[in-house]
A = this chain, B = another copy of it.
Amino acid sequence: MKTIIKALVFDAYGTLFDPLSVASLCDELYPGHGSALSQLWRSRQLEYTWLRSLMGRYEDFWKVTEAALVFASRTLGLPCESPARERLMQAYLSLKPFPEVPDALRALRGYPLCILSNGTREMLRVVVKNSGLEDVFWQVISVEEARIYKPSPRAYELAARKMGAEPGAIGFVSSNFWDAAGAKAFGFFTCWVNRTNAQSEELGFVPDATGRSLTELAQMLTRA
């Protein structure tokens, strides 16, 4: 693989940073409901990005994330006005990286490393800073500039353009199968990080490589 891939681009939420790491704060605010709230919040956050993109009604990821929180908390009957809402939104800026991420990224430093994320520039700047990974990335690319979310080809095209590379020379890494499928449809070399032993989605496109962790993928990608 090393010979064809010139640079690596990572999805952020779900791949490098764990969106469900807000569950502990959710549970502190709503004892016994942390897991349900964080999961419904995350699933609606994704759905809203797809639906708004398809409707041609882009709103930035901060607003979409807050809208999903409002829906999820109301559906579960959990009051979520400030300061609780404010605290939960701020928690999104200090999501924890998955445990193996810092070491795996260090192992991959032979490649130029980028992020391509649905997050706003500001959300990404802060979450990367808070995780101590600032110096690791060559570019942190937000779909904000394309005003459409992944898996639109326009989102992946933005990254290819900013990186100045042919799609086939870019290795794209995501834990979200639908994101890996979208990247593959666009033309990236795609790697799926399947930490949860999930089933492949039936979207007509399959990743080029699959690993159970970023460490496992890093081993594949650094092999001579």
Contacts and interface: CB of A to CB of B under 8 A. Distances in A.
User: Chain A contact residues: over half helix, strand or loop, or mixed?
Assistant: helix
A48 interface: yes
A56 interface: yes
Given A51-B50, A51-B178, A71 B202 contact: yes
- Assembly stoichiometry (copies): 2
B151 A54 contact: yes
A52 B56 CA distance: 15
Given A57-B185, A185-B57, A52 B203 contact: yes
A55 B199 contact: no
Contacts of A185: 55-57
Contacts of A27: none
Interface in A41-87: 44, 47-48, 50-57, 59, 67-68, 70-71, 74-75
30 contacts: A44-B201, A47-B50, A47-B178, A48-B201, A48-B202, A50-B50, A50-B51, A51-B178, A51-B182, A51-B203, A52-B203, A53-B54, A54-B54, A54-B182, A55-B152, A55-B181, A55-B203, A56-B152, A56-B153, A57-B185, A59-B204, A67-B202, A67-B203, A67-B204, A68-B202, A70-B202, A71-B200, A71-B201, A74-B199, A75-B199
Interface of A: 44, 47-48, 50-57, 59, 67-68, 70-71, 74-75, 149, 151-153, 178, 181-182, 185, 199-205
